[in-house]
Structure 1
Amino acid sequence: MKVGIYGSSFNPITNGHLWTANTVADRQKLAKVIFLPSSSKRMDKSITTQDFHRLEMLKLAIAGNEKFEYSDYEMKANVGTYYTYYTMEYFKKLYPSAEVFFIMGADLLKEIPDWKYSEELIKNNRFIVMERNDINMYRVIAGSVLLRRYEQQFILMGKGIVNEISSSYIREEFEFGGDPRYLLPEAVYQYIRENQVYTI
């Protein structure tokens, strides 16, 4: 069995996130994709939206897809333990008979050599990397001695179509009275409006 761990702030989750997860699951034959919203307590992120709202929106977005699950592991983890290295160790223990992959965009491929425990993380895990914008994934790997050393750990995927939907753009539209309705699931759109999640 193959399991994909898809980490992001999901603030909010968009149709782009769902398309990415579905495409990866289909092409890489994953049995399930676990959506992993990051904790607002992370020092490397600036998340002002309450964890509760982001998790509720995520639940609404993935409802009805039997391959999609969610985990609040990082939201509940102690400060200092929600590095991706610890996250992957947790899920490998949770699914000991599965092949577990970390799903990420090419923008994170550029950053991963600077992550905490980066070499241990890369050496001991497999990654599915989705093309983003104009980032040349092969050039990124070639330009990093750490990535070159463990190049076999990365599965690089071209999207085939451009599907960039920015969560920050959606937040800005809501905050300033715009209507980004068709960039995110209808249930999430309605939840945001009813709960005034991004109203200034």
Structure 2
Amino acid sequence: MSSNAPRIGMLGGTFDPIHHGHLRSAVEARETLGLDRLHMIPAPKPPLRGEPQVSAEQRLALLKLGIADTPGLHADDRELRRAGPSYSIDTLIELREEYGQQARLVMIIGFDAFLRLPQWHRAQELFAHAHLAVMARPGYATPWPDELTELVGAREVEQADSLMHRPSGGVMMLTLPSQMAISATYIRQRLGEGKSTRYLLPKAVEEAIRAEGFYRHFASRGE
């Protein structure tokens, strides 16, 4: 066990578009977990979601604008360079190979995604490569399905220090201070209706969206 092992996070999503809720959650998750670096990874073809309205390359460009010079956050394009669906297990394997076996690797997901974890591709293997930090989401207090309870087993810990005692295999519920209830669906709807999105998005992201004409036609695709 190495106390100096790097602490690396992975936060995937469609980021369709990236907004202040995503970014504030990323900053607070990094601080809470003491991460050295948090990879924010756009998914080009999410297996359990509908097709994003804007291309993966365009969403990556918006993500980079949103992150700007925020310390510790990194816009990662690896899933755009991979053929086929975006499976988290493949990304975790790559990150594990890059950072080494002693790195503390944490995959951060929302509670709604966590409830669907048993349906994920090779879900049981995730814990061999990373910890799981589950962000509470406003309005979600759903009991765990039986198959999720079985999958998690006795992996849950309550504190980040306990999670970081080993490289992978733990689960932690992550209650962030802000819990900003901003929905990408709501933003797309407002953009499609020509309404203001000020203070929902970073200014640079909002300006780029309007300059490129993204989201002019609202599609209710989910977050």
TM normalised by structure 1 equals 0.91
Would you say 1:181 and 2:198 are equivalent positions? yes
- Give the structure with the higher percent helix: 1
Task: Indicate if the aligned counterparts of 2:25 and 2:179 stay in contact, CA closer than 8 A.
Answer: no
Counterpart among 83, 89, 92 of residue 93 in structure 2 = 89
1:148-172 superposed Cα distances (whole Å, 9 cap, x missing partner): 2543511111123441111111011
Q: Which amino acid letter does the alignment assign opposite residue 12 of structure 2?
A: G
Task: Indicate if the aligned counterparts of 2:21 and 2:179 stay in contact, CA closer than 8 A.
Answer: no
Q: Please state whether the residue corresponding to 2:116 is helix, strand or coil.
A: helix
Unaligned runs of 5+ in 2: 1-5, 158-169, 218-223
Counterpart among 2, 8, 18 of residue 3 in structure 1 = 8
Q: Which amino acid letter does the alignment assign opposite residue 85 of structure 1?
A: I
1:3-33 superposed Cα distances (whole Å, 9 cap, x missing partner): 1111010010010111101101111111111
Q: Please state whether the residue corresponding to 1:53 is helix, strand or coil.
A: helix
Pairwise CA distance, 1:47: 1.1
Would you say 1:105 and 2:110 are equivalent positions? yes
Q: Please state whether the residue corresponding to 1:48 is helix, strand or coil.
A: coil
Q: Which amino acid letter does the alignment assign opposite residue 64 of structure 1?
A: D
Q: Please state whether the residue corresponding to 1:183 is helix, strand or coil.
A: coil
Structure 1 residues 141 and 155, CA gap change in structure 2 (3 angstroms): farther
Q: Distance in 1 between matches of 2:156 and 2:7?
A: 20
Tell me the residue number matched to 1:37. Answer: 42
| 20-29 vs 41-50, greater mean Cα deviation | 41-50
Tell me the residue number matched to 2:79. Answer: 74
Tell me the residue number matched to 1:154. Answer: 171
Q: Distance in 2 between matches of 1:75 and 1:160?
A: 31
Identity %: 27
Q: Distance in 2 between matches of 1:62 and 1:141?
A: 35
RMSD: 1.9
Would you say 1:194 and 2:199 are equivalent positions? no
Q: Distance in 1 between matches of 2:108 and 2:80?
A: 18
Structure 1 residues 134 and 168, CA gap change in structure 2 (3 angstroms): closer
Pairwise CA distance, 1:76: 1.3
1:73-114 superposed Cα distances (whole Å, 9 cap, x missing partner): 11111115x311111001111111521110111111101111
Q: Please state whether the residue corresponding to 2:80 is helix, strand or coil.
A: helix
Task: Indicate if the aligned counterparts of 1:123 and 1:150 stay in contact, CA closer than 8 A.
Answer: no
Task: Indicate if the aligned counterparts of 1:25 and 1:32 stay in contact, CA closer than 8 A.
Answer: yes
Unaligned runs of 5+ in 1: none
Task: Indicate if the aligned counterparts of 2:104 and 2:130 stay in contact, CA closer than 8 A.
Answer: no
Q: Distance in 1 between matches of 2:7 and 2:145?
A: 24
Q: Please state whether the residue corresponding to 2:79 is helix, strand or coil.
A: helix
1:127-176 superposed Cα distances (whole Å, 9 cap, x missing partner): 11111123347x42776211225435111111234411111110110011
TM normalised by structure 2 equals 0.82
Pairwise CA distance, 1:123: 4.3
Structure 1 residues 141 and 148, CA gap change in structure 2 (3 angstroms): farther
